[in-house]
Structure 1
Amino acid sequence: MTTSALAPDSVRLLPGTYDRRRRVNRDYLVSLDERALVQNHRIEAGIGDQGWHLKPSVTPGVETGWGRHWGWETPGALLRGHFVGHWMSAAAREVAVTGDPVLRGKLSVVLDELQACQDAGEGWVFGIPRTFLRRLAEGREVWAPQYNIHKTFMGLVDVHRDLGDERALRIAHRAAGVLAEWARAFGREEFQALLEVETGGMLEVWADLLEATGDDDLYRDLLDRYDHRSLFDGLLAGEDMLTNMHANTTIPEVLGAARAFEVTGEERWRRIVEAYWDWAVARRGTFCTGGQTSGEIWTPPFSFAARRGAKTQEHCAVYNMIRLADVLYRWTGDASYLDYIEANLVNGILAQQHPGTGMVSYFLPLQSGARKEWGSPTEDFWCCHGTLVQAHTRHASLAVYADAEAVTIAQYIPVRADIDTPSGALAVEVRTLDDALYVGPDANAGPGGSTHRPHALRVSVVIESAPTVSGRVRMRVPAWTVGDVDVRSEAAAVHRDRFIEIDHPGGRTEVELGFGFELRTVPLPDEPATVAFVEGGVVLAGLVDRETPLVGDVCDPTTLLAADDERQWSQWLTRYRSVGRSAGIRFVPLNEVVDERFAVYFPVVTPA
């Protein structure tokens, strides 16, 4: 049975790390001037700056103009106008979950502006000129106009899907007619050549709009035209279509294939998605972080040693592969996809957001001694800047799923979910008892708790409903779990297929879970004497400014690292130091590194 994600307004983050990151992201979304967001759409529509004024730039130390957006959003830049789509998508989800009145008001202004631009542009509602499509067809340099166009479509579709806004759907549907007229001017084979230049998620948008409008004539034709046969047919033939290819060109295309399957039911689309995952992950492997790519391209299968640099793990690829894993989990119920999501949330999405400013690190460098390079609020607007603001509005949606048979707790993120089950309404609250700001009964040693930092993730799950409403709840057992799961509950628990299952009889059911973890070494596949250190699902970073060998047993992390600085007031801290060296190296979670130089992989020398 297919598992479903919950509606955005059915699940909400509770206080904890993920909610703090969401709040930082929300504050950034609110800080942006809504008219600056559409500056390029207005310019393209010939409206310009009439009747409105931008606020002065507030970026510290930067004097670039009166509230304009710069970087990739600079008027005249080839990718100008892409970011507002990401912003709309993020704002819509935040409003759907929290009801945020400020963002709702700003979103309404953005839609007003886009509608005015579309009216002035006779259907064209994008931040680049139509001539960019002509340049694309002529083979002239133009970067990726369809990728750019997709972002505005994406934002409009997400506003409609998350908020039920019919105006957003009307704008998108009208714009689709303009794109269809352009696409139909080419023969089928001729148009296939245009798909070799990055199209973003255009295929996904056509599937979304087919579902939303029911316009078969328009959107089935567009699905057929955007069926990228050179990529998809190669995948179906069992060929490696990815090595040394730009990763985030193809991931959105395969997400489009996934939506095409969900909307049309045609099995070929599903087989494309499954083949892509097989080549992208199963046959390729990942870095210890769960991420992939170097310089934005797929590495060769299990060949990572020569691909560690300053530009590994592009944020866009991390975000979109999480989306793909979510799709495949919903189709299959296979917990391995949830493990993949967890690794990339902890060591990608959290690790690539500045915890104070909310800004993104485009890449997560795995070159020893590198630093994360953070974007700025208004001077960069990279592609990863866009996926950043979306990612931090969607944590709750990855935490809990439901189907007719059970509610599944997929990620141990503090949330409250209100679910309509076949037998009635049921509420689930998930709390992690070892969050950085809460120690619980281990506030003291001895009878009050552990003497040293507990080596288990402890989770509380509370299920509540009317006395007559029962239901089954499934809780994922993470792949990194060591030993038996500690389950404390009056309800009988069954361990089945990587999940702990309980039957909630109605009323209130409390469950406490303990997932044991240990420090382990994770070697590079093609350089097994070079390892990373991972505790549970958390990758550790050594604070060093160069590649630094360690001395010990590559298979026994206790010969290499020892616990360090484990306690602060009422908090347990994840901290280690190297042993067996004259100068120690301190290790902290990779997602806590901000401006320090660091290394993730360390060569290990066996002692004489």
Structure 2
Amino acid sequence: MPLNTPRRQFVKGLGATAALATVPRGVHAVTGGALPARARPLPLAAVRLLPGPMLDAVLTNTEYLHRLEPDRLLHNFYTGAGLPPKGEVYGGWEGDTIAGHTLGHYLSALSLTHAQTGDSESCRRVQYIVDELQRIQAQRGDGYVAGLTRKRPDGTIADGQEIFPEIMRGEIISGGFDLNGAWAPLYTIHKLFAGLLDAQHYCGVSNALPVALGFASYLEKVFLALSDEQLQQVLACEYGGLNESFAEFYARTGDARWLAVARRLYDQRVLDPLMAGRDELANFHANTQVPKLVGLARIAELDGDRERAGAARFFWQRVTGHHSYVIGGNADREYFFEPDRIADHITEQTCEHCNSYNMLRLTRRLYGQRPDAALFDYYERTHLNHIMAAQHPETGMFTYMTPLMAGSAREYSTPFDSFWCCVGSGMESHAKHGESIFWEGEGGGDPVLFVNQYIPAQAGWAATGARLRLQTTYPHGADSTLEVLTPGSDGAFTLALRIPGWAEGFTVKLNGEPVAPLLEAGYALVTRRWNAGDRLALHLTLSLREEVTPGDASTVALLHGPLVMAADLGPASDVYEGMVPALVGEAPLEKAVQGDSGTAAYRISAEVARPGALSLVPFYSQYERRSAVYFRRFSESQWTEEEAALVAAQRAERELAARSVAVIHLGEMQPERDCNLTSEISYPVVYRGRHGRDARMQGFFEFDLPVVPGELILQATYWGGERRRKFRILLDGEELARQELEAPQPGEFMTVSYPVPEPFTRNRQQVRVRFEPIGRHTAGPVFGIRLLRPSVAGASS
């Protein structure tokens, strides 16, 4: 079912059960409409995590943050300003034209770590970095301070500030991720702004906001020089949540000029349909869009713009209900696809971590505007099953994608040579696991404290003076207890416990006695004058259940409470060559046997599991294991018919994979960078859900492919209904083939094989593949490249 399934049915049923309980003396059920209209989280510094996986993740992350050297992250900031660097530049993305984005994430992560743990070293580093940025900004003299670079048309690398005078003159060359030769420069700047804002908020660094506002003034001049049409050209390149940053500048200064900039940073192509209530997300790069909606929601908070608030909420509903996998993540190979087509996109490239990081930020923003437990049903699921899956608990390294294809394994960053976007968002995610456990009602009325996540923690509630401690066996077990350590000066307030939407039943007890709480918007509310030592206990009914995949009732996932369960398919170090597991029969979960009581572990016998018995464990914990998360459901008769076809199809896929030397997904950011793609007059394209690239007249695109000795086959995939195209394919400057397309196979994609003679691979480890048009034609679009060995029989496939 969609992740945002309406909650009214289960609330109605559970309310009848709860009403049977006896209400202890001193407890009263509050009247309807008791929930406040708005809420805010308790400050992160007021929450301390208690021992458990979340605290372990924070401590592991802190250790990694302390291993990083601020001077190395500042390298390009120094050199761009003409100052000598104090450390060598890091590798990975920090060695590319997006350099500097990690520093912004790092500032945020350090600031959050200080708030979450009290770590003084984190704030010391924050203050040092901001002081250095202030010095660098003064050296430049115009407010600009960034570490990004740009690649000039002649191929040389220069300081990224060069692009802004060009843009102001109307010389704008913008694509999905490239702006005048710089990789998503406004995205990079947004990360720096966010880091500086966090430095001020969490560490109290007084010069952080002035540095940010100085740079904001520089950008304001750039934007003011552009017409609305020119600005839309600029915004066609990923700009992160830059609108949110400018809105926050307004919130902290009261200067309306910043809100005006924030409102103008509005990508019409993406946001207009959402404002009109239309889901046209398919084929858009997912993480490029989510921060824009976070920004819209923040702007709406500040100026009361209901239309923008509605667009942000509509986007959240569509993504969580129609574009999200069972673990809460979204997108295949970074892109949204058609709604309710999850089952068609269960691949090894699912669920970019940044997407979920930003979706949780949007969820928090929407929850603060209108508290509803359904929002935290999604938040909890994503936090437990995706965010926790993305950090290796021993090394502290991070995933980019979290693969859901059966038999796939996670790949992690390296400490000093990755610095992907998901490394940056990973640093932040695992610095703040206590940020959304407790929320307080905002506005008039009696004090209300929401418990939205069941994570062991202790909190101080400044509004009442109360201190509370939450202990729990959740999510593996069913019990959570909230103890009032000190009730505060008055002691009269409401505790609102979130009852998850999946719950089949629950009980609430106060000091061991049953309570009949009021149920409202997914919460069990108990109001009284609390005493020190009072204990409010929640027991939830946990069981293994199926969840149907939106759009395909024959594909299901299995969950234990909020935990997505995975079939353990063996160590990541071993190649998985088995079949995709399936469930057969009318009620296969009746054959599931739970492990020790209170654990999230099950075994399903071979009587109903195919090709054999399955061991089910929480998906997030499969750090070094291969998993299956989605299962096809068959009746006995269907399985008999399908088994032979499944075996044959999977055998063909394995054989193709075994023969493959390299596979390149053209038109996608990271794969193109991995193969060192360069191009001129060439553009990424999307057609029928597939990404590709073409080269227009006088243009080209070229990339590296690894090779092995001997004859090979180069396969290229095209759209079979293409209008006339003529182009050449070259290997290391020598013509391999000429291709002409003119609707050879209308209505379907087609793959063409080109034999690669042995001389092309002799004494080489890689070749440079180039596609270039002939005459006034277009090369491609090409929707994928595969280099493979000939079949065993020597045929050319």
**TM-score when scaled to structure 2?**
0.68
User: Which AA in structure 2 matches 1:33?
Assistant: E
Q: CA deviation at 1:69?
A: 1.3
Aligned partner of 2:606 in structure 1 is 579
User: By how many angstroms is 1:578 displaced?
Assistant: 4.0
What is the match of residue 483 of structure 2? Answer: 462
1:385 is paired with a residue whose SS is: helix
Question: Is 1:312 aligned to 2:350, yes or no?
Answer: yes
Contact 1:542 1:599 in 2 (8 A): yes
Q: What is the correspondence of 1:171-570 to structure 2 with a 5 Å cutoff?
A: 171-216=211-256, 218-282=257-321, 284-403=322-441, 404=444, 405=446, 406-421=448-463, 424-433=464-473, 457-463=478-484, 464-466=486-488, 468-489=490-511, 492-497=515-520, 498-508=522-532, 509-544=534-569, 545=576, 546-553=578-585, 555-559=587-591, 561-564=592-595, 566=596
Cα distance in 2 for residues equivalent to 1:426 and 1:246: 45
| Residue identity opposite 1:146 in structure 2 | L
For the Cα contact (< 8 Å) 2:458–2:470, is it kept in 1?
Answer: yes
Aligned residue in 2 for 1:131: 162
Is the Cα contact below 8 Å between 2:467 and 2:488 reproduced in 1? no
Structure with max Cα Rg: 2
Output the CA distance in 2 between the equivalents of 1:81 and 1:591.
Answer: 30
Q: 1:73 and 1:233, CA in 2 relative to 1: closer, same or farther beyond 3 A?
A: same
Q: Secondary structure of 1:130's partner?
A: helix
Q: In the aligned structure 1, how far is the partner of 2:617 from the partner of 2:66? A: 32
Q: Is the 8 A contact 1:89 1:158 kept in 2?
A: yes
One-letter amino acid of the counterpart of residue 512, structure 1: A
Contact 1:486 1:515 in 2 (8 A): no
The residue matched to 1:200 in structure 2 has which SS?
A: coil
Superposed CA offset, 1:217-252 (max 9, x none): x31331232132333222122222311211111110
Match of 1:86 among 92, 105, 121: 105
Q: Could you tell me whether the CA contact under 8 Å between 2:330 and 2:351 is conserved in 1?
A: yes
Shift in alpha-carbon separation, 1:303–1:380, aligned structure 2, 3 A: same
Is the Cα–Cα contact under 8 Å of residues 92 and 163 in structure 1 kept in the other structure? yes
Distance 2:310 2:341 in 1: 26
Query: C-alpha separation between the residues in 2 aligned to 1:536 and 1:109?
Result: 45
Q: Secondary structure at the match of 1:507?
A: coil
Tell me, in whole angstroms, the C-alpha distance in 2 between the residues paired with 1:554 and 1:177.
Answer: 64
**Aligned with 1:289: secondary structure?**
coil
Greater shift in the superposed pair: 522-531 or 92-101: 522-531
Alpha carbons of structure 1 residues 9 and 204: separation in structure 2 relative to 1, 3 Å = same
Does the 8 Å contact 2:356/2:387 carry over to 1?
A: yes
Asked if structure 2 preserves the Cα contact closer than 8 Å seen for 1:245 and 1:297, the reply is yes
Deviations 1:291-343 (A, max 9, x none): 21111111211111211111101100011101111111111111110100000
- Tell me, in whole angstroms, the C-alpha distance in 2 between the residues paired with 1:296 and 1:247: 6
Deviation for aligned residue 1:5:
1.3
Instruction: Give structure 1 stretches of 5+ with no counterpart.
Output: 55-66, 437-455
How far off its partner does 1:78 sit? 1.5
Matching residue of 1:13: 49
- Once residues 135 and 198 of structure 1 are traced to their aligned partners in structure 2, the CA distance between those partners, rounded to angstroms, is 18
Taking a change above 3 Å as real, the CA distance of residues 578 and 34 of structure 1, as seen in their structure-2 partners, is farther
8 Å contact 2:284–2:335 — kept in the other structure? yes
Residue in structure 2 matching 1:99, options 102, 105, 118: 118
Q: Deviations over 1:523-557 (max 9, x none)?
A: 32333222221111111111222443334335542
SS at match of 1:162: helix
Task: Give the count of matched residue pairs.
Answer: 563
User: Distance in 2 between the 1:243 and 1:141 partners?
Assistant: 27
On the 8 A contact 1:491/1:502 being kept in 2, the answer is no
Does the residue aligned with 1:171 lie in a helix, a strand or coil?
A: helix
Per the alignment, residue 70 of structure 1 pairs with 91
Q: d(CA) in 2 for partners of 1:372 and 1:134?
A: 43
What is the CA deviation profile of residues 166-209 of structure 1, one whole-angstrom value per residue up to 9, with x for unaligned ones?
20001001111111111111112221221111110110000000
Following the alignment from structure 1 to structure 2, what is the Cα–Cα distance between the partners of residues 112 and 467?
A: 42
CA contact (8 A) 2:581 2:611 kept: no
- In structure 2, relative to structure 1, the CA distance for the partners of 1:361 and 1:135 (3 Å cut) is farther
**Structure 1 residue 215: Cα displacement:** 1.8
Separation in structure 1 between the aligned mates of residue 622 and residue 434 of structure 2, nearest angstrom: 24
What is the aligned partner in structure 1 of residue 707 from structure 2? none
Tell me, what secondary structure is at the counterpart of 1:533? strand
Give me the whole-angstrom Cα distance separating, in 1, the residues matched to 2:267 and 2:452.
Answer: 33
Matched-pair contact (CA < 8 Å) for 2:354–2:425:
yes
The CA RMSD measured in Å over matched residues stands at 2.1
2:475–2:562 contact (8 Å) kept in structure 1: no
1:468 aligned counterpart, secondary structure: coil
TM-score, normalising length from structure 1?
0.88
What stretches of structure 1 move > 6 A for 4+ residues in a row? none
Aligned to 1:3: 39
Structure 2 SS opposite 1:597: strand
Give the 3-state SS of the residue equivalent to 1:598 in structure 2: strand
Amino acid at match of 1:157: L
| Corresponding residue for residue 719 of structure 2 | none
Do 2:76 and 2:89's aligned partners in 1 also have CA atoms closer than 8 Å? no
Structure 1 CA distance for aligned equivalents of residues 309 and 354 of structure 2: 23
Please point out which of 626, 630, 633 is paired with 1:597: 626
Q: Provide the C-alpha distance between the structure 1 equivalents of 2:120 and 2:161, rounded to a whole number of angstroms.
A: 35
Q: Deviations over 1:43-71 (max 9, x none)?
A: 2112132xx4x4xxxxxxxxxxxx64110
Deviations 1:377-414 (A, max 9, x none): 11100001111111112221111100153000001011
Q: Provide the residue aligned with 2:794 in structure 1.
A: none
Q: Separation in 2 of the partners of 1:520 and 1:526? A: 18
Q: Displacement of 1:434 after TM fit?
A: 5.4
SS in 1 for 2:237: coil
Higher strand share: 2
Tell me the equivalent position of 2:718: none
Cα shift readout 1:462-493 (whole Å, capped 9, x = no counterpart):
12314732111100001121223353435844
2:196 to 156, 159, 162: 156
Structure 2: tracts of 5 or more residues without a match: 1-36, 149-159, 174-179, 570-575, 638-797
| Structure 1 residue 257: Cα displacement | 0.8
Deviation at 1:426, TM superposition (A): 1.1
Deviation (angstroms), 1:287: 1.5
Residue type matched to 2:462 in 1?
D
Q: Are the aligned partners of 1:144 and 1:199 in contact in 2 as well (CA < 8 Å)?
A: yes
Q: Is the 1:292–1:298 Cα contact (8 Å) retained in structure 2? A: yes
